Amino acid sequence: MSRSNRRRSFVLAVGALLLVGSSAWGDEEKELDRTPQQCITTQQVARNEAISDRAIVFIMRGKSKTMYRNDLRAVCPTLQKGATQFDFVKGNHPASQLCGGTDGFTVRGKQQLPCVLGNFQPITQAEAEKLLGRSLADDTSKKSGSKAK
């Protein structure tokens, strides 16, 4: 092999390594954006479930399988771990949105004043599974019994 062919092969090999390395770095850049969201789109909510008397996990539809933890503004006396049936009380914004700070909910079948939602904190599926205490492999297609008023 001539010297120029060896040099060309070397340059191509280094270029290939750089491409492989940059795609690996690209995966790291695709880490979860932890920026809290004030609002989420109600049509994208596949399921929600209380993890305590002060927090709810929201599992969204779609390819991204986004999940959020919502820490309520205060303890909700009728909310119990495992509750999935909520009636949302909407604030003054588009009906297609559910917003922390302005929207609230009641636990279906319980008499109470609405509990106020906080911001929606993005979480990973592994974090959601740990909070819920079970695998979500089959849950993402299930529909919650919650509805907006």
Q: Helix, strand or coil for residue 71?
A: strand
**Dist CA 57 CA 86 (whole Å):** 12
pLDDT category at 22 given cuts 50, 70, 90 is very low
**pLDDT of 24:** 44
Give per-residue pLDDT as tens, 53-106.
999 999 999 887 899 999 999 999 999 999 999 999 988 888 899 999 999 999
Helix ranges (H only) for the chain are 3-29, 125-132
Percentage of the chain beyond pLDDT 70 is 72
Give pTM, 2 decimals: 0.73
Strands 97-99 and 55-60: unpaired
Over the chain, what is the mean pLDDT? Answer: 82
- 122, 34 contact by CB (below 8 A): yes
**Maximum C-alpha span of the chain:** 85
